[in-house]
Amino acid sequence: MVSLEKFVEQRLAEDEITAWTASPASDGEDGTPPERMGDEWEMVIEDEVSTAVVRPRPGDPVPPRPLPPLLSWSWTTGDDALHGVVAHVARHHPARVMAELTGARKLLEAYGAAEPGSQRHDALQLALRAFAVGHADHRDFDPTWRLWSEEDSDTWP
In a domain, 14, yes or no: yes
Q: Identify the pLDDT of residue 157.
A: 45
Q: What is the pLDDT of residues 70-86, one digit of tens each?
A: 555 555 556 666 667 77
Give the angle subtended at the CA of 8 by the CAs of 144 and 53, to the nearest 5°.
125
Instruction: Give the residue-averaged pLDDT of 44-68.
Output: 59
Is the confidence at residue 156, as pLDDT, over 50?
A: no
Q: Residue 135 sits in which domain range?
A: 4-145
Determine the longest span between alpha carbons in the chain, in angstroms.
58
| Residue 74 near residue 48, CB atoms below 8 Å | yes
* % of the chain with per-residue pLDDT over 70: 55
Q: What is the pLDDT of residues 89-134, one digit of tens each?
A: 777 778 788 889 999 999 999 999 999 999 999 999 999 999 999 9
The domain total for the chain is: 1
In a domain, 151, yes or no: no
Q: Give the number of residues written for the chain.
A: 157
In a domain, 152, yes or no: no
In a domain, 104, yes or no: yes
In a domain, 153, yes or no: no
In a domain, 49, yes or no: yes
Going by C-beta distance under 8 Å and a sequence separation of 6 or more, which residues neighbour residue 53? 41, 42, 43, 44, 67, 69, 70
pTM reported for the whole predicted model: 0.70
In a domain, 11, yes or no: yes
| Residue 157 near residue 145, CB atoms below 8 Å | no
